[in-house]
A and B are shown apart, each in its own frame.
Chain A
Amino acid sequence: MALSGYLATSFVYLGVYVLACWAMNLQYGVTGIYNLAFIIFQSAGAYTAAVLSLGPSSQNSSFQQYIGGYRLPFPLPILAGAVVAGVLSLVVGLVVLRRLRSDYQAIVMLTLSVMASLLVISAVPLFNGPAGLSLVPQPLATTFNVSPVTYSWLYGGFCAGLCLIVYVFVRRITSSPLGRALRTVRENDAAAAALGKNVNALRLFSFVAGGAIAGLSGALLVGYIGVWAPSTWGYAETIVVLTAVIIGGSGNDAGAFLGALLVPVLIVQGSTFIPQFGPPELVPALQWILIGVLGLVFVYFWPRGIIPERLRRFAPERPTHEPLLGAERSGSPTLE
């Protein structure tokens, strides 16, 4: 029974992380945007879904204050979460992506992440400040009225379904001409511009699409655990997702999936490998040291990740008697 509950939870978390990794992969892996503010989009989705599915803040003993509280039925809060995150990414993207060189972009994103955190903590009437929102109702829990474990599996199934839909969407982007254009922007944006691609629009598209998916993942997570607090979304959380994508393999969805599987799982499993000894803070500190060392090792030996991106070739490998133009249907090899 405990196994079933644990597996179901792992399944839901996997779904959430996979969505987050695909979003990050779209932004960083495919388009080369250093989105160090990733977590605020996931958080925007979570907060939106939470305040839309909660009842009015004045009732329920009013121990928490927040905006919204419209008690909307499933699936509206989740969809709204994705939409709001997408809009937020649009705003941020318009402001940040245009003019700054990439390392400045990275810093500004990081700064925005910290600012958002400070803002939510200080402006308590918004989202209940540092305590965060709790007792967020789980979608359709009352309608189904099943045991918690069964509900977890149902939720997991729902997440899996959403992952499938998002996968189709992401795949269609990455394997289309649009995907090739995005990769060009990543590799050499001057060349892309020279070929007539609207680099800013492409980046913005990727940013917004990734942001919406991130928001979706946040909305899913908050629906499951019922709680969302600033401690959950410090700027370090972006690094977890980024490391997952890097370790799994950036630039391709299978890699991002693997990363989602490995890194959060590693972080959770870390709690059991080292047997308890010494003062209470020793073992957790050692786990973090281990995570740091893993990061160093991976960046050195497998910078492209375990499943690296399949790079496009200039010419067919297999020799062929056919005339060149017949073998390569399209015009220029990689830039379309």
Chain B
Amino acid sequence: MNTLVQAIGFGLVSAAIIAVAAVGFTMQFGVTNILNLAYGDVMTASAYIGYLVNNAGLSIAYSLVVGAVVGGALSLALNRYLFRRYIRHGTQLFGMIVVTLSVAVIIQNILLVSFGPSFFVYRIPLGGGIKLGPARFSGVQLVIMAIAVVTMALVHVGLTRTRLGKCMRATACDAVLAQTCGVFTDRVVDAAWLLSGMLCGLAGVVLVLSTTAFQSTTGSEFLILIVAAAMLGGVGQAHGAMIAAVIVGVITSITAAYSNPSYQDIAGFGVLVIVLLWRPRGLFGKVEGERGIP
């Protein structure tokens, strides 16, 4: 029993990291229907810039903020000056996958050239931590979970209470109809990429706080898990992504605790496949059938 509680506790930490990233990813996919496979590398880029800040002597808090800003700016620029051009040009789903993958490769290798192949480590004050029942959490992990909870709350409030949030949900649902209702979809899309990009950057810094060491491939290695969580929750559904992140985090953690840890990701993906077979639109996905790119 202890093992189970402990595993669930650990799973929540993983879930925290996945959640922040998955919500950003699903927002991008939901509002623009672009499967942005460069997401992981934008995370890595934000982590690197956050490292520069941290290395200059500033505390982690500054790294988080700077990481978020970098992620947001980079994502906004990518959509406005690159992805949107392709979509206007008529590129379909698969072409966009190739485009985002090309961007991913370019970003990753620019990072490799700029920083070299070695590993980098943030300067984190060690120590701290509490014991909740059989599970022990370190100070850093508590911070990560706190960040995730606060961010998710903000996203929830933002999407449901603010005007921009409603416009985003409308655009995600049906862009043409939203336009006829007076929503400036272009600006909304820009805002969506900016905000989801900020989540991406934040997630990047949070990820490397957890892994402690990172290099140019760190973010992209994490990408598939993020995509799986986003799909599991249903595309474009931020709340779905949050819940899916918890599910994935806990399942992988339980697998690691009870059997061979090498299988933990397989279990996580297995859950995705099984759920999609049962509910093809994901747990909370709302729209079925094809949707064109707005």
Contact = CB atoms under 8 A, between A and B. Distances in A.
B112 A295 contact: no
B89 interface: yes
A126 B95 CA distance: 36
A106 B109 contact: no
Interface in A285-305: 285-286, 288-289, 291-296, 299-300, 303
A324 interface: no
Interface stretch (A48-56, A63-71, A97-105, A141-149): A97-105
Contacts of A95: 273, 277
Interface string A87-109: 00000000100011111101110
Interface of A is mostly: helix
Interface string B274-293: 00110011100000111000
B103 interface: yes
Contacts of B124: none
Interface of A: 28, 34, 36, 95, 99-104, 106-108, 110-112, 114-115, 118-119, 121-122, 235, 239, 242-243, 246, 279, 281-282, 285-286, 288-289, 291-296, 299-300, 303
A101 B273 contact: no
Nearest to A99: B280
Interface residues of B, number: 49
Given A103-B35, A242-B98, A281 B113 contact: yes
Contacts of B281: 101, 104
A322 B126 CA distance: 88
Given A114-B224, A122-B266, A285 B113 contact: yes
B269 A107 contact: no
Interface of B: 33, 35, 82, 85-86, 89-91, 93-95, 97-99, 101-106, 108-110, 112-113, 116-117, 224, 227-228, 231, 235, 260, 262-263, 265-266, 269-270, 272-273, 276-277, 280-282, 288-290
Contacts of A303: 90-91, 95
A115 B105 CA distance: 22
A40 to B, nearest CB: 13
Contacts, number: 131
A239 B102 CA distance: 10
A110 B93 CA distance: 15
A286 B228 contact: no
Contact of B228 (A28, A99, A111, A119): A111
Contacts of B95: 246, 299, 303
Contacts of A36: 97
B109 A292 contact: yes
Given A106-B93, A239-B101, A279-B116, A115 B35 contact: no
Given A100-B276, A299-B98, A291 B262 contact: no
B117 A281 contact: yes
Which of A101, A106, A111 has most chain B Cβ within 10 Å? A111
A111 B93 contact: no
Contacts of B227: 107, 110-111
A122 B33 CA distance: 34
Contacts of A108: 231, 272-273, 276
Given A101-B280, A118-B266, A122-B263, A293 B106 contact: yes
B110 A296 contact: no
Contact of B288 (A101, A110, A114, A235): A101
Given A104-B280, A243-B98, A122 B262 contact: yes
A36 B231 CA distance: 16
A102 B262 contact: no
Given A246-B95, A296-B103, A285 B109 contact: yes
B270 to A, nearest CB: 7
